[in-house]
Amino acid sequence: MPLHIIREDITRMAVDAVVAAGSAAPGTPTPTGGVNGSIHKKAGSRLIDALRRLGGIKTAAATITPGYDLPCKYVIHTAGPVWRGGAYGEETLLRACYREALLLAVKQRLESIAFPLISTGKYGYPKAEAMQAAISEIRAFLCTHDLDVYLVVYDREAFRVSSGMFDGVKQYIDQHYVDEHHVARNVCEQDWAHGMLPPQPAPVLRNAGPMACPASLEERLSQLDEGFGQMLLRLIDERGMKDSDCYRKANVDRKLFNKIKNTPGYTPKKSTAAAFCVALQLDMRAARELLARAGYALSRSNMFDVIVEYYIGKGVYDVDVINQALFAYDQPILGSNVG
């Protein structure tokens, strides 16, 4: 199942479970602020009563209650670590929060779960570091489990990584991204100012004769190239990959992969097609060819395309790294369980 990084109000998500990360101490007052406070407020007083009966949660442990007035079925509760500079096992405890919540979801036979960025509120865990730990732990879990996981992030601070992770892509965007509408408008205004007519469309050739097109429908159909699904399966075989390895690396749902595999002529979304280019570690030429089989091209006037082109051109085939950059620039992320 894929990992989705989204901006959303977690209390409105109709998933099987949302995760509330609160205090480990029993008898702690009802939370009123942050994501945890919003979850408790929306769920209603019965959630507080259920938590009191539990008697507190150990740091990095997980327990479950009904969702009550929330649209989700359940709330999985965990207690994140307080940030004390990073030298007191905070990352180990933070990763355990995600892992224990995921294990509990699987034990309860749930199919979908939504996480906030645990411990990044009043507990002070740096958002960029929390983001990396969350994605790494969730991705490791999804290598062996089928679960639809949402990571709900509210702002861009989680992407301000001290390593300068996105410096290169920002520079590449600045150099290569072209707003075609803006350019076309400026060119037209300059041309008209000098008395020039706007460029005319090329004439459409009609009745070009038998050399221009096959004589029959049967002949046309016999000349079709292999479709996206056919080329995808061929490339998987050529690289000696398992189907499951490929769709998991692409952040694509197994059901969607089977739909692509078993439905002749099926065309996935562009973000899904591009995800397979990354999973297969295609160079730019091969990536463009696979995308073309689904009817897509990479354009310098499309921010999504420019970012994907940057990472493939750099030989960076980590879907999570690319998705963080896409998310930071408000673009669709690679992979999906729809389309």
pLDDT in tens, 207-226: 444 444 455 655 554 545 78
Query: Is the pLDDT reported for residue 289 higher than 90?
Result: yes
Provide the CATH number for the domain formed by 3-159 in this structure.
3.40.220.10
pLDDT digits (tens, 9 = 90+) for 134-146: 999 999 999 889 8
* Beta bridge mates, 21: 78
pLDDT beyond 70 at 178? yes
State pTM to two decimals. Answer: 0.78
Question: Dihedral, CA atoms, 261, 263, 267, 268, nearest 10 degrees?
Answer: -50
Q: Flag whether pLDDT at 190 surpasses 60.
A: no
Candidate from 185-199, 214-228, 302-316 with smallest mean pLDDT: 185-199
Cβ(141)–Cβ(97) below 8 Å: no
Residue ranges of the chain assigned to CATH 3.40.220.10: 3-159
What pLDDT score was predicted for residue 209? Answer: 42
Q: What is the CA radius of gyration of the chain?
A: 25
pLDDT at residue 141 in the model: 95
More reliable by pLDDT, 224 or 121? 121
Asked if pLDDT for residue 26 goes beyond 90, the answer is no
pLDDT tens for residues 31-58?
A: 657 888 899 999 999 998 888 888 778 8
Matching residue, tokens 């463009």: 288
CA distance 236 to 304: 24
Residue 134 confidence (pLDDT): 95
